[in-house]
Amino acid sequence: MTSNQKLAQNSRGEIDFELEAVVAKYIGLDSRGAYIDSLSGLEVDEVLKRFSLLKYGHLASIRYFAIEICKMASKSIVFKNFLTTARDNNETVFITSPGIYNVPSASNVLLKESVSLLNVMCSIEGMPPIKIMEQARLEESCPNYAKSSIKDRQSANQTENVIPSIFKGRSVIYIDDVYISGTVAECAKKRLIEEAGANSVFFLFGMKIDKEVVQSTDGKVEDKLNRYLVDGTLDGLSNVISDDFTTTQKTLRDLLIPENQAGLSTYLSKLKPRIALKLYIAAMQNGFRERWNGIYSGSVDILENHLIKTGLIGSDRLISDKYIILNDND
């Protein structure tokens, strides 16, 4: 990239989807108001079910989007040119995502699955492997960001990320599960180039929602898509919380909301103890008892008391030795 190109990229902020992005699925609406693939016009019910499951850490759905991203990336001339330029300039290529605050978001887990597949492609193409370099998030985004209007998204203070200094003079791939209004991705682009000093940035998205759809819902389409299959109730979460899932921020936020407290003990009694412990450890990692004015503290107490009864937590509230011998059937 020439200095003039870099200056232009710095000043624009917005993403040129023809030159610097790959999208697995473009989502629009037909004349009846039904969601469709905006390129082919085909229905996307299965895609949107997968997306809803992805947000809650369903591993098969994470793999689905990772494969779709890799398929599109392998067909993209501009993506291969991005990698080739970095290789010819002897630059390491890093891949990152929205910052992580201990417990991952859907984008964070999508990164790790996607980079494995992308590196298979790199090896076949004679490219050096892409390296993961996450950004630490000092504060999580607000719990209801997916419900934010376009105006609120544009005016929201982006949570502060610690951007690795090693990005300076390197090429960076930024991956996210969905592109809605562009606020998050465009802020990331600006910071990666202006603050971190990255030479170039390329974007990978699981889905991009048509501008008309975003405007017709005033930006709240993300919440609708998140709940396309999993609605946040305990019954809905039963579609996800199983052997084939990893804990995400959204899983915890929906599981531990005050509205679920009445049925939480019964719900937990149906889970394998190791899964309940997995949820508890994640909740404690992200401070769910103390943060957000304690709105989740009652649910965390119920989860903790359940695990004390199973013996996985001792009377001192620390993880017991039983954790060592847990297996997949527990």
The predicted-structure confidence for 106-137, as pLDDT tens digits, reads as follows 999 999 999 999 999 999 999 999 999 999 88
3-state DSSP of 172-187: EEEEEEEECCCHHHHH
What pLDDT is recorded for position 7? Answer: 40
Is residue 5's pLDDT more than 70? no
What pLDDT is recorded for position 11? Answer: 43
Strand order in the sheet with 200-209: 35-37, 21-29, 200-209, 171-179, 93-96, 131-132
- Over residues 266-282, the mean pLDDT reads 95
What pLDDT is recorded for position 219? Answer: 80
Contacts of 11 (CB under 8 A, 6+ apart): none
Is residue 312's pLDDT more than 60? yes
Say which range, 86-90, 140-144, 267-271, has the weakest mean pLDDT: 140-144
CA 275 centroid distance within chain: 21
- In order, the DSSP letters of 216-250 are HTTTTHHHHHHTTT--SSHHHHTTTSSTTB---HH
199 and 6 Cβ atoms separated by less than 8 Å: yes
Is residue 163's pLDDT more than 80? yes
Is residue 1's pLDDT more than 50? no
Q: In whole angstroms, how large is the CA radius of gyration of the chain? A: 21
| C-alpha–C-alpha distance, residues 133 and 298, integer Å | 35
Say which range, 19-23, 94-98, 261-265, 325-329, has the weakest mean pLDDT: 325-329
Say which range, 162-176, 210-224, 251-265, 270-284, has the weakest mean pLDDT: 210-224
What is the percentage of the chain residues whose pLDDT exceeds 90? Answer: 76
Is residue 161's pLDDT more than 80? no
| C-alpha–C-alpha distance, residues 107 and 188, integer Å | 14
| Whole-number Cα distances in Å, 173 to 31, 195, 302 | 35, 16, 41
Q: State the chain's mean pLDDT as an integer.
A: 90
8 pLDDT band (50/70/90 cuts)?
very low
What pLDDT is recorded for position 217? Answer: 87
Q: Which residues pair with 208 in a beta bridge?
A: 26, 179
What pLDDT is recorded for position 6? Answer: 45
| CB crowding 172-202: b at 16 or more within 10 Å, else e | bbbbbbbbbbbbbbbebbbbbbeebebbbbb
Is residue 4's pLDDT more than 60? no
What 8-state DSSP symbol labels residue 191?
A: I
170, amino acid identity: R
Domains defined for the chain, CATH in brackets: 3-226 (3.40.50), 256-325 (no CATH)
| C-alpha–C-alpha distance, residues 311 and 156, integer Å | 43
The pTM (predicted TM-score) of the whole model is 0.90
| C-alpha–C-alpha distance, residues 281 and 264, integer Å | 17
| C-alpha–C-alpha distance, residues 124 and 270, integer Å | 45
What pLDDT is recorded for position 38? Answer: 96
Q: How many residues does the chain have?
A: 330
Say which range, 9-18, 77-86, 131-140, 256-265, has the weakest mean pLDDT: 9-18
Which phi and psi angles does 245 have, rounded to 5°? -150, 155
